[in-house]
Amino acid sequence: MPHIVVDQVRTRERDPSYAYWNVRPAQSLVVFVHGWGGHCTDTWKPAAGYIAAHDGAGAGHDLLFYAYDSRNQPAGVSAAQLARYLLDFLADPTAAINASAKFGLRRQATAYQSVIFLCHSLGAVVTRQALLDLAARSNAPPAWLNRVRLALFAPAHKGALATEVGNTLLSELLGAPGRAIGAALRLKWQSLLDLEQGSSFLATLEQDSRAYLQHNPGAGCARAAVVAWASNDLIVVRQNFALDVPAEVVNGTDHVSICKPAQREHDAYALMTALL
């Protein structure tokens, strides 16, 4: 009998997410959140397969590859959608899994000991905002927030260099028409506005993270336990965020390949599985 069931998961987003559910009650939920323009599973290949077979579902975890419209909606909207899904799913994960999973899976009650997020680029921004939104709920925040841990890969929470470079090149090469094109792209791809270095969205996110940690020191939902920077990243600003742990630099990787280690012995893979 296989130890995992591969499932397509419907959320509030247009595109489906995917999951590897363990056939037995899992000790942890591991949520993968892709970056700008990424795909929920392709972002993490081939590492996702290794994690599913060995260090993830194969080791007693549930794996969820969350999909969202990273281009066309503001990061705040994506965060709100993610927060709502997490709130609904984690209220009764056993019922949600048994109702969704193929092959008639009927798993016993699940009580996750930890909820781990592996996030790439914009995914770090969306996830951080979603967790802060849940923590700020006027009624009692969900109890599982106390069991959250964050691992961030090439996070964009300090902004993206690519947006500024693109705007400058369009302006210098095409003049006024280039500036108009840049403005039109930012209107179409609204999350680019949120990713501009020093944007009000990112500044507020860091301010709110610090404020939450002041009252909840060491809270895993606001302080990343793993931060990985790619040595050859030309996309995001590599600076410390709030009270996160110091970043590890993964040599020989760029903004995309840091999520795609080809061997389990790779430094990036070790960081991916550090919290599992």
In a domain, 166, yes or no: no
How confident is the model at residue 243, as a pLDDT?
Answer: 97
Tell whether the model's pLDDT for residue 169 goes beyond 50: no
Q: What is the pLDDT of residues 35-67, one digit of tens each?
A: 999 999 999 999 988 888 876 656 788 999 999
Distance CA 95, CA 92 (A): 6
Token pair for 42: 């392709």
In a domain, 237, yes or no: yes
Q: Which backbone phi and psi does 76 adopt, to 5 degrees? A: -65, -35
Here the CATH number for the domain that contains residue 122 is: 3.40.50.1820
Asked whether residue 69 is domain-assigned, the answer is: yes
Domain membership flag for residue 14: yes
Tell me, yes or no, whether 182 lies in a domain. Answer: no
List the domain range (segments joined by +) for residue 95: 4-158+198-272
88-to-8, 40, 54 alpha-carbon distances in Å: 17, 20, 28
- C-alpha to C-alpha distance for 261 and 264, rounded to whole angstroms: 7
Q: How far apart are the first and last CA of the chain?
A: 24
Distances (CA, A) of 61 to 1, 46, 208, 218, 236: 17, 18, 31, 24, 30
Number of separate domains in the chain: 1
- Residue 178 counted as domain residue: no
51 occurs within a structural domain: yes
pTM of the model: 0.90
Percent of the chain with pLDDT over 70: 85
Task: Examine residue 192 and state whether it is found in any structural domain, yes or no.
Answer: no
